[in-house]
Amino acid sequence: MEIGLIGLGKMGGNMRERLRRAGHTVIGYDRNHEIADVGSLTELVDAFTSSPRVVWVMVPAGDPTRDTVKELGELLSDGDVVVDGGNSRFTDDKINADHLAEKGIGYVDAGVSGGIWGLKNGYALMVGGSPENVAKVQPFFEALKPEGDYGYVHAGPVGAGHFAKMVHNGIEYGMMQAYAEGYELLTAAAVVEDVPGVLKSWQEGTVVRSWLLDLLVNALQEDPNLDDIKGYVNDSGEGRWTIEEAINHAVPVPVLAASLFARFSSRQDDSPAMKAVAALRNQFGGHATTKAGQAATAADLGGPGDTIDS
């Protein structure tokens, strides 16, 4: 069957390949014309030989996605369906759907997980939309999803797909941070001699076995002390939105929030907050402060022991 696919980056490019392997005809568009099958959205829409048309948008969340959906609203027709497979905030979905509905165009949101492994293993799909619209996209979902009984869910009405994906990512942040804190403690305490070996052993039989653990073991096999990597971690929007939605619903999420904040901290060369704490200690206790630009002395590294405190 025919599908339009907009955005052929790391995710979209692999998805085109997986769809083609399943026998589908993919009309791919990308700003980078070298990798595109057509030269414009108009050409993409015109290239379909049958209807209704299904067009999958796989571009960065925010304005790029919103703008693409608007443009598709100009080009598509009654009965066609747009799928937003990007990492959009779920609150965008209703707006997009309402906009397209004015012309009778359907809208489906799809949270997609799997990263660079999706081409081989399939992409997990969390889908939101009306049963009618979802049905039109179903053949492509079947091609993209992993084999077997899992990896696909029609989670609810428009927005439910991206909401599920957002929470998925929030959980992911928490799990990654849990492993990371445990890893740091193992290395800091130096009671265990073979830290990568311990993590590898956990891959079977333990409560903490998971795909993320497998990946961490991989990473440690390549670089046993993570010497070549900096502890600098970006965040995508979904971790932030998870906390905001939790706040909206008065759900306590201490672990998910701590994971996000650890990423924020990892990107700071110096922390204004901790400058303020250091300034306060200096004010009340005469504690030496480390001047900006000055290396910490051995004495600074100590924990307990100051005679003077508060």
| Catalytic residue IDs | 165, 172
**Closest approach of Cβ 82 to its own copies, in Å?**
17
Q: How far apart are CA 98 and CA 130, in angstroms?
A: 13
**Closest approach of Cβ 109 to its own copies, in Å?**
11
Interface with its own copies (CB under 8 A), residue total 167
Q: How far apart are CA 94 and CA 154, in angstroms?
A: 16
Give yes or no for residue 146 binding its own copies (CB under 8 A). yes
**Closest approach of Cβ 143 to its own copies, in Å?**
13
The residue behind tokens 């993570």 is 226
DSSP 297: P
3-class DSSP state for residue 33? Answer: coil
Q: Phi and psi (nearest 5°) for 19?
A: -65, -40
Residues 228-287 that bind its own copies (CB under 8 A): 228-238, 240, 242-268, 270-287
Which residues have a Cβ under 8 Å from the Cβ of 8 and sit 6 or more positions away?
Answer: 16, 28, 29, 30, 32, 35, 36, 58
Give yes or no for residue 130 binding its own copies (CB under 8 A). no
DSSP 295: P
Q: Which of 36, 58, 81, 119 binds its own copies (CB under 8 A)?
A: 58
Give yes or no for residue 300 binding its own copies (CB under 8 A). yes
Residues 168-207 that bind its own copies (CB under 8 A): 168-189, 191-194, 197-198, 200-207
Give yes or no for residue 56 binding its own copies (CB under 8 A). no
Give yes or no for residue 216 binding its own copies (CB under 8 A). yes
**Closest approach of Cβ 257 to its own copies, in Å?**
5
Q: How far apart are CA 294 and CA 272, in angstroms?
A: 16
